[in-house]
Structure 1
Amino acid sequence: MRDRARALLIDLDGVLRRWDPAPMIAVEVKYGLKPASLLETSMSWDVYQPAMAGEITHAEWMKLVADRLPIGDQAAAAVGEWQEYRGEPDPEALAFVREVRAGGRKVGIATNGTDLLAGDLDALGLTGEVDLVVNSWDLKVHKPAPEFFEKACLAIGALPKHVLFVDDDDRVIRGARSAGLSGYRWIGPDHVPYLRKVLDLPA
């Protein structure tokens, strides 16, 4: 039987923040880009990794994306319009976070982010909803590196065995478990009763 978790670290994108694909699709249609080309280009490892590891700024990352799009002088405008939409809070994940904090457990956002993260959290109204934010851009190391989880646990003030890590990426969950945390892949609120037990919260 594992020790009960005493703190929660939760991912932002795909968990606390959700993305409506419609704005991206509208930009791609407007500029004649192939479907999903904006996302796929931005996630190319050689430009994504340095952005998440704090080696380049968000603006520099987006410039690299624009440089790779096959629409010439229109690329910067297309990327700029795409980036205007910054997502929205997931109400069910946010309700879970509020429940955990109300139960006396610390909650931290632990995410692969850029220098825009603080502003995004303010705009989304999430800054005051958590006790701390662990951003890969600040740490200069990103999930699923063991050092990320080590630093995240230090930040929230709990041993890895006492931390529940919730993310939507299987690879990250495996990394968290390898680092000694309890890892759970978020697929929606259906398993919140189980997560309450992990955190030793009342049903």
Structure 2
Amino acid sequence: MARERATALLVDFDGVLRRFDPAVAARVEQEYGLSSGVLGEIAESWGMLQPVLTGQVNHAEWVSSVADALTPSVGDPGRARAAVEQWQRYRGEVDPQVLAFIREVRAAGIRVGLGTNATDLLDADLAALDLTGELDVVVNSSVIGIHKPAPEYFQAACAALETPPGRVLFVDDEDRAISGARAAGMSAYRWNGPADLRYLRAALAG
């Protein structure tokens, strides 16, 4: 039995709509004499990341925790905090092709939501990147207290889109999130880059 045509689109933020230049973190690590990749390793370790993605701590508290964990590598708490804050000042860049696609989809009458595991800094990031008003709904894990790939996250996203799961197409660059969305009854596509937009256009066109 063929699936129903999607009437709503849910798009991940980091890795799909927003991208980060790895050279920024590399320059900070070099400036502070840190080993390559250590900022990401500490900040994105699940024990550090999970509380901030579910709203148990805020972004500033998470930054402090990362700086505390980095201090042994730097030898000075002040330098560790300066390194983390300098790294965090860079808020990434919008992928212009993905943004153009979102505008095209919305112009065709399809609701578009942002489905992201994010901190309480998300609204400020959207504003800084001129994305305020570019999406119909924003589903932030730190606001709802549940993160992808939990089925409850996707249920909340579908409710926000006012669309049943079977009519929502989800796009993400992480396999776990794709599996979670499919388990929740959604169509899901693993993002590899802007070359995938051709397929997504066809999928939404039915």
TM-score range for the pair, normalised by the shorter chain length: over 0.9
* Contact 1:86/1:120 (<8 A) preserved: yes
Aligned length in residues: 201
DSSP-derived class of the 1:127 partner: coil
Deviation string 1:66-120 (CA, Å, 9 cap, x unpaired) is 1111212210000010011000101111111111111110001010001100000
1:113 — aligned with what?
Answer: 118
Q: 1:135 is matched by which residue type in structure 2? A: N
Letter in 2 for 1:97: I
Identity of aligned residues (%): 56
Q: Is the 1:93–1:188 Cα contact (8 Å) retained in structure 2?
A: no
How far apart are 1:197 and its partner, in Å? 2.6
Which blocks of at least 5 consecutive residues in structure 2 are unaligned? none
The TM-score with structure 2 as length reference comes to 0.95
Distance in structure 1 (CA, Å) of the matches to 2:189 and 2:24:
30
AA in 2 matched with 1:170 = D
Distance 2:7 2:203 in 1: 9
Q: What is the CA distance between 1:62 and its match in structure 2?
A: 1.0
Q: State how far apart, in whole Å, the 1-side matches of 2:39 and 2:180 are.
A: 28
* 5+ long unaligned stretches in structure 1: none
Query: Does structure 2 retain, via aligned residues, the 8 Å contact 1:53–1:142?
Result: yes
SS of alignment partner, residue 188 of structure 2: strand
C-alpha displacement of 1:199: 1.5
TM-score, length-normalised on structure 1?
0.96
Q: How does 1:66-85 map to 2 (within 5 A)?
A: 66-69=67-70, 70-71=73-74, 72-73=76-77, 74-85=79-90
| Deviation for aligned residue 1:193 | 2.6
Q: After the TM superposition, which residues 39-188 of structure 1 pair with which residues of structure 2 at under 5 Å, given as runs?
A: 39-69=40-70, 70-71=73-74, 72-73=76-77, 74-188=79-193
CA distance in 2, matches of 1:82, 1:192: 31
**Partner residue in 2 for 1:2:** 3
Alpha-carbon distance in structure 2 between the residues aligned to 1:4 and 1:198: 8
SS of the residue 2:139 aligns to: strand
The one-letter amino acid of 1:64's match is S
Shift of 1:129: 1.0
Q: 1:152-180 deviations in whole A, cap 9, x for unaligned? A: 00000000000000001011001000000
Partner SS state of residue 88, structure 2:
helix
- Amino acid corresponding to residue 48 of structure 2 in structure 1: V
3-state SS, counterpart of residue 199 of structure 1: helix
Question: What is the alpha-carbon root mean square deviation over aligned residues?
Answer: 1.0
* Aligned-pair CA distance for 1:191: 2.6
